[in-house]
Amino acid sequence: MKIQRAFLAPSLLAACLATSCADSNQVAEQATVMQAATEAPVSLKQAFKDDFYVGAALNGRQVSGNDAKALNLIQEQFNTISPENLLKWESVHPQPDVYNFEPADNYVTLGEQEDMFIVGHTLVWHNQTPKWVFEDEQGKPVSKEVLLKRMEDHINTVAGRYKGKIDSWDVVNEALNDDGTLRQSKWLQIIGEEYLQKAFEFARQADPEAELYYNDYNLWKPEKRAGAVRLVRSLQEKGIKVDGVGMQGHYGLESPSLEDIEASIKAFSDLGVKVSFSEVDIDVLPNPSGRAGADIDATFDFDEKYNVYTTGLPDSVQQQLTARYAELFDLFKKHSDKIDRVTFWGVTDNDSWLNNWPIKGRTSYPMLFDREYQPKPAYEAVLKAAAK
């Protein structure tokens, strides 16, 4: 909250009279310091209110009210939310004709109560989608027509339920390989490339006012960037409106380079669409594959040599994390005319999926808030970036 200048003036006058104005310069300096302190942003959403939304991905415990400390942070710090898993197909539509809307309803209700920009994630993805979606009763692949009908029914039911409530949908998630070619998912194998067009068409029919995004990881890579540009442009040429591209933002301490990230921001903006950083975190732990990204199928057995900070993050690494977040948000601030929102993939270190990927049971430190719900030095660095 900002304290108005009107409250500071009497204090300054009184101080001046008390010292016969002999130390008026010192008093003025103190008042300036006081004003700067009281006008400093007290939350991420306030700090970037003129730039872009800032948000977090939420889990079931948080939206059901079973994590009060996290809920307080969510309410204080963020003005947009995404569902980590609550609206993925396996969660909301686990069996034919069976929908589980309670967690998603709680999520949407929270967003409405806090007047937040609500994101739906995700309608069409190759992962966390039940086998029955792609198979008949004998376990054989369904026809193109059957799969399209199942896609349409799912999108109409889910996106239609939250019409006018969810502001933006990640319609298709991770349809590309890192080389920019289309992933050989069941969607592609059974329907063909047309599945991309149909997913956006069905989503637009279900909620004409919602923003529709394509979302993916490693979009900083030149080959994948080019593939995403081709994908969006192909849809546009077919008359399909794509509102934005979500760059997930699962990054490391040293990679990718700011230059590669910036090139992708510009490339997607040049398509006439918005850009979001939809799943931001910074992994401080060694990756056994050496690969960047978020391919949840790329998992490894537990090994202590990849779980090196079990008792806390060393100061040197904390400083690296702080510097990395600072330079990323400097870049986001620079391109705030192109970026619509920045969402962290979790609230605290304890919530992060990186505790269990690519190795289950590790202790990771990728967020701005620690396991005690306290801000880390990186949080202050991000706030400073907002003031530049």
pLDDT digit string (tens) for 5-34? Answer: 233 333 333 443 344 444 545 544 554 434
Q: What is the DSSP letter of 283?
A: E
Assign 40 a pLDDT band (cuts: 50, 70, 90). low
Identify the three-state secondary structure at position 296: coil
Whether 371 has a pLDDT exceeding 50, the answer reads: yes
Q: Which of 84, 201, 211, 279 is catalytic?
A: 279
The Cα 348–Cα 291 span in angstroms is 24
Confidence of residue 293 (pLDDT cuts 50, 70, 90): confident
Count of CB atoms situated within 10 Å of the CB of 143: 12
Rg, the chain, Cα only? 23
Q: What is the pLDDT of residues 131-190, one digit of tens each?
A: 999 999 999 999 999 999 999 999 999 999 999 999 999 999 999 999 999 999 999 999
Q: What is the mean pLDDT of residues 102-120?
A: 99
Given 84, 174, 201, 211, which residue is catalytic?
174
Per-residue pLDDT reduced to its tens digit, 303-350: 888 898 999 999 999 999 999 999 999 999 999 999 999 999 999 999
Given a cut of 50, whether residue 107 has pLDDT beyond it is: yes
- Going by pLDDT thresholds of 50, 70 and 90, the confidence category of residue 41 is low
353-363: average pLDDT: 91
Q: What angle do CA 282, 261, 78 make, to 5 degrees?
A: 50
In this prediction, what percent of the chain has a pLDDT beyond 70? 89
Which pLDDT score is estimated for 291?
64
Rounded to whole angstroms, the Cα distance separating 201 from 192 reads: 15
Q: pLDDT averaged over the chain? A: 91
In the residue annotation, 279 being an active-site residue is answered as yes
Give the angle 73-276-367 at the CA atoms, nearest 5°.
35
150-166, pLDDT tens digit by residue? Answer: 999 999 999 999 999 99
Of 280, 276, 231, 275, which Cα lies nearest the Cα of 256?
280
Question: Which positions ≥6 away from 187 have C-beta within 8 Å?
Answer: 124, 126, 147, 151, 175, 195
DSSP string, 159-186: HHHTTTT--EEEEEE--B-TTSSBP--H
